[in-house]
């Protein structure tokens, strides 16, 4: 296959220019800028399009096993491919929990048969995600798990988290942590502040999250474990992560599109599609997310894609579940709200959605280097479209962005040299 006349952007090598790219046997075989690659191959005209390393999302809820009514392997990996993602990493808070080697192997086998986006599996750090007994991390890694996490079941006991990190460090497994002190946040449903007071809803104080980022960062320094902080949402979290990095802490961090382009005012009218944890914060926090991405304090962008059935979100705000759809709007929200206002270059955005996620979890991909796997995203950076949740490939239609006009649209997703979305 030859991709002709596209703008080839590869943050891993500094390439940014118009040219051709050739794929052979599932690998990147040749890149030629300013010229034409000859050969008898299937060709795709990419004039006006960007050709870049496949996007990678390291924080996705695919709901399998046990919650297939929200999302299943086919719809989730299909949604990823439609969003331009060549690979996603799924979280372990399923039914049953992904805390054993057979579950990991089953998921990987079934994902390979789908021939859509690649799947990487994140195992639970404790059995049943009960934060009482360590999961068999060695077995999980042996079965193919790439990291462990407590996402949605936050570890409150510092001693237990130390033990988790000691074992994870020994196995060279990153720990992906949802940082929240539930003794402060218990019962909260949105950002603690003026809007919550007006709506009469219990708030989630930012301090509950910030103090846990500091605790876990210090434990990472103590144990040498690679800590990855999930879904950063507050200004002070960014400042704490910047401080910890200055001390040499082995820490990386992510934020999601909703945290730079929405505030807690999106919850007005008791809009449950704007309910998530961590919650939407303030304009100042949005600006901090942008600056954190710009200066590298925040290493990558991840969606925290969390699909729910419509009837689950169609409840009173306090009892509706947390979470929003993310895979099919992420790239466009980055282009519209980060690249167009010139906060980030297009290359920088691609780096934080592809090269950086691959580096953080040690995954193949994230590069167009000759000889590397041909996981490639092709997108139109100028395409204008309106978000229609009913058109999502995902089963989850729960998005606060319905009706928004965005710029930037994936047009082709290639995994291992095969087109999985066009």
DSSP per-residue codes, 317-347: TTTSPP-B--TTTHHHHHIIIIITTTSS-HH
* Residues with active-site annotation: 304
How many angstroms separate the CA atoms of 99 and 92, rounded? 7
Query: Please, are residues 130 and 152 in contact by the beta-carbon 8 Å criterion?
Result: no
Q: What is the pTM of this model?
A: 0.97
Pairing between β-strand 175-177 and β-strand 147-149 as defined by DSSP bridges: parallel
**φ, ψ at 305 (rounded to 5°):** -50, 115
How many angstroms separate the CA atoms of 350 and 329, rounded? 15
Position 40 scores a pLDDT of 82
What's the token pair of residue 147?
């990291």
Looking up tokens 């980030």 gives 344
356: left (phi over 0), alpha (psi -120 to 50) or beta: alpha
- Close Cβ partners of 74 (under 8 Å, ≥ 6 residues apart): 114, 116
Position 205 scores a pLDDT of 98
Position 152 scores a pLDDT of 81
Query: Please, are residues 166 and 224 in contact by the beta-carbon 8 Å criterion?
Result: no
Strands (E), 184-340: 190-191, 203-204, 227-229, 251-255, 300-301
How many angstroms separate the CA atoms of 144 and 414, rounded? 23
- Residues in a beta bridge with 191: 204
Task: State the DSSP code for 134.
Answer: B
Query: Please, are residues 24 and 39 in contact by the beta-carbon 8 Å criterion?
Result: no
Nearest residue to 7 via CA among 379, 329, 421, 365:
379
How many angstroms separate the CA atoms of 306 and 325, rounded? 5
3-state secondary structure of 18: strand
Q: Which residues of the chain have pLDDT under 50?
A: none
Q: 386: how many CB neighbours lie within 10 A of its CB?
A: 11
Query: Please, are residues 327 and 60 in contact by the beta-carbon 8 Å criterion?
Result: yes
């Amino acid at each position: 296959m030859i991709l002709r006349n596209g703008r080839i952007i590869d943050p891993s090598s500094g390439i940014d220019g118009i040219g051709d790219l050739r794929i052979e046997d599932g690998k990147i075989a040749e890149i030629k800028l300013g010229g034409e690659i000859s050969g008898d191959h299937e060709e795709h005209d990419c004039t006006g399009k960007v050709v870049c390393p496949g996007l990678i999302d390291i924080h996705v809820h695919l709901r399998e096993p046990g919650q297939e009514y929200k999302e299943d392997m086919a719809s989730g990996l299909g949604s990823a491919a439609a969003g331009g993602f060549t690979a996603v990493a799924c979280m372990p808070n399923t039914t049953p929990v992904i805390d054993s080697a057979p579950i990991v192997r089953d998921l990987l086998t079934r994902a390979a048969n789908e021939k859509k986006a690649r799947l990487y599996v994140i195992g639970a750090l404790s059995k049943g995600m009960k934060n009482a007994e360590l999961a068999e991390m060695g077995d999980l890694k042996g079965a193919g798990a790439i990291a462990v996490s407590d996402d949605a079941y936050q570890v409150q006991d510092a001693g237990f988290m130390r033990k988790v990190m000691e074992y994870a460090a020994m196995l060279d497994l990153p720990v992906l942590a949802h940082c929240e002190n539930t003794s402060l946040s218990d019962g909260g449903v949105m950002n603690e502040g003026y809007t919550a007071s007006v709506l009469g809803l219990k708030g989630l104080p930012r301090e509950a999250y910030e103090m846990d980022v500091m605790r876990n960062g210090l434990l990472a320094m103590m144990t040498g474990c690679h800590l990855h902080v999930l879904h950063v949402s507050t200004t002070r979290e960014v400042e704490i992560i910047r401080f910890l990095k200055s001390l040499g802490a082995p820490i990386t961090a992510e934020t999601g599109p909703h945290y730079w382009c929405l505030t807690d005012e999106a919850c007005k009218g008791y809009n449950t599609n704007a309910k998530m944890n961590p919650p939407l914060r303030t304009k100042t926090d949005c600006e901090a997310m942008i600056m954190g991405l710009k200066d590298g304090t925040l290493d990558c962008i991840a969606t925290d894609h969390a699909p729910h059935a419509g009837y689950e979100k169609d409840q009173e705000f306090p009892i509706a579940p947390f979470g929003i759809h993310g895979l099919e709007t992420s790239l466009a929200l980055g282009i519209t709200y980060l690249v167009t206002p010139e906060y980030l270059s297009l290359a920088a955005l691609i780096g934080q959605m592809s090269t950086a996620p691959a580096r953080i979890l040690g995954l193949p991909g994230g590069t167009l280097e000759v000889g590397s796997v041909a996981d490639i995203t092709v997108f139109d950076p100028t395409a204008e479209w309106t978000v229609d949740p009913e058109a999502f490939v995902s089963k989850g239609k729960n998005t606060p962005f319905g009706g928004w006009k965005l710029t930037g649209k994936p047009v082709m997703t290639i995994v291992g040299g095969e087109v999985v979305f066009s």
